[in-house]
């Protein structure tokens, strides 16, 4: 049997969801973006236990409390990775185990959007777990090894994000806190608030979209909330648009943003020119 090549027409016909992260300061309304999505088709992964702003939101939610539960849920949603050994997270063995625990994953078919709040808390849970693993202790002295703990944390968190990124038929969106700092010259710098620097640096290379949800001002000084969506922007906010469909500033409406990113593209026509 030949290698299964995928034609351009087949690729364009595939159901493909968007993958992104929305970063913003605390209180800007990131969790409230749930109200701009179709509640009947959305699963809310509530890591922060901070759903006060969306108590009246009528959608389904789950509340993982440990890093193991976060890994199990990602495996359940994303399916098995055939490249992994049975003793690794997200392997076929791991998937079989979580299916036994959670039931037939066909139940996830009702959801087109997975909304994760937040990557900041996921990073904290991951680091807490990593500090208790053998790699976080010196083989010679048995004392805690901070470098080993953070190395394991980075590997685990990046693997978790990659597992979610590979869920092709669903929209996967994470929110997280955007930190504002100043360099030695007093210039503003913005970065995701995630434990450890490696995962923060690699995040933009994993997801397709990086959006900063911030408060901007009109010419007369009136403040308004907005999505900043392009890397080159006047404010220096972290952003990336792999879809090539977003303006520098978009309205803070997740449902419309996803529709704009995933709208069908024009068909590709092949053949010889006349």
241-257 per-position pLDDT tens digit: 999 999 999 999 999 99
Give the model's pLDDT for residue 271. Answer: 46
Give the model's pLDDT for residue 266. Answer: 59
Give the model's pLDDT for residue 15. Answer: 62
16 — pLDDT class (breaks 50, 70, 90): confident
Distance of CA 18 to the CA centre of its chain: 10
Q: Which residue has the higher pLDDT, 264 or 249?
A: 249
pTM as predicted: 0.92
Give the long-range contacts of residues 188-193, CB within 8 A, separation 24 or more: 188/236, 189/236, 190/23, 190/236, 190/237, 190/238, 191/238, 192/21, 192/23, 192/119, 192/120, 192/238, 193/120
Give the model's pLDDT for residue 149. Answer: 96
Distance of CA 59 to the CA centre of its chain: 19
Give the model's pLDDT for residue 268. Answer: 44
Q: How far apart are the first and last CA of the chain?
A: 36
- The mean pLDDT of 40-64, rounded to a whole number, is 93
pLDDT by residue (tens digit) across 23-44?
A: 999 999 999 999 999 999 999 9
5 — pLDDT class (breaks 50, 70, 90): confident
pLDDT at 273 exceeding the cut of 50: no
11 — pLDDT class (breaks 50, 70, 90): low
pLDDT by residue (tens digit) across 119-165?
A: 999 999 999 999 999 999 999 999 999 999 999 999 999 999 999 99
pLDDT at 14 exceeding the cut of 90: no
Unique residue bearing structure tokens 């937040």:
118
Q: Where are the alpha helices (DSSP H) in the chain?
A: 8-13, 67-78, 92-102, 119-130, 146-165, 197-206, 254-262
Instruction: Give Cα separations from 25 to 120, 145, 243 (angstroms).
Output: 12, 32, 25
Are 95 and 80 in contact by the 8 Å Cβ rule? The answer is yes
pLDDT at 267 exceeding the cut of 60: no
Are 167 and 78 in contact by the 8 Å Cβ rule? The answer is yes
pLDDT by residue (tens digit) across 69-105?
A: 999 999 999 999 999 999 999 999 999 999 999 999 9
6 — pLDDT class (breaks 50, 70, 90): confident
- The mean pLDDT of 198-226, rounded to a whole number, is 96
């Amino acid at each position: 049997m030949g290698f299964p090549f995928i034609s351009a027409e087949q690729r364009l016909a595939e159901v493909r969801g968007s993958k992104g992260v929305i970063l913003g300061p605390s209180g800007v309304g990131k969790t409230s973006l749930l109200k701009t999505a179709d509640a009947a088709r959305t699963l809310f992964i509530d890591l922060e236990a901070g759903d006060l702003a969306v108590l009246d939101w009528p959608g389904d939610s789950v509340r993982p409390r440990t890093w193991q539960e976060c890994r199990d849920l990602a495996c359940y949603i994303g399916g098995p990775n055939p490249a992994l050994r049975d003793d690794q997270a997200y392997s076929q063995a791991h998937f079989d185990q979580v299916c036994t625990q959670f039931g037939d994953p066909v139940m996830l078919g009702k959801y087109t959007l997975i909304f994760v709040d937040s990557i900041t808390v996921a990073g904290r849970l991951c680091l807490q777990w990593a500090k208790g693993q053998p790699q976080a202790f010196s083989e010679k002295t048995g004392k805690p090894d901070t470098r080993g703990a953070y190395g394991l944390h980075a590997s685990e968190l990046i693997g978790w994000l990659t597992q979610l990124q590979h869920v092709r038929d669903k929209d996967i969106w994470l929110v997280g806190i955007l930190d504002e700092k100043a360099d030695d010259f007093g210039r503003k710098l913005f970065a995701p608030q995630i434990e450890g620097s490696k995962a923060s640096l690699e995040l933009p290379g994993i997801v397709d979209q990086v959006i900063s949800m911030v408060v901007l001002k009109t010419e007369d000084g009136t403040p308004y909330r907005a999505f900043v969506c392009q890397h080159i922007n006047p404010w220096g906010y972290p952003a990336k648009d792999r879809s090539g469909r977003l303006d520098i500033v978009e309205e803070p409406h997740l449902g419309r943003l996803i529709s704009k990113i995933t709208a069908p593209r024009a068909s590709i026509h092949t053949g010889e020119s006349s």
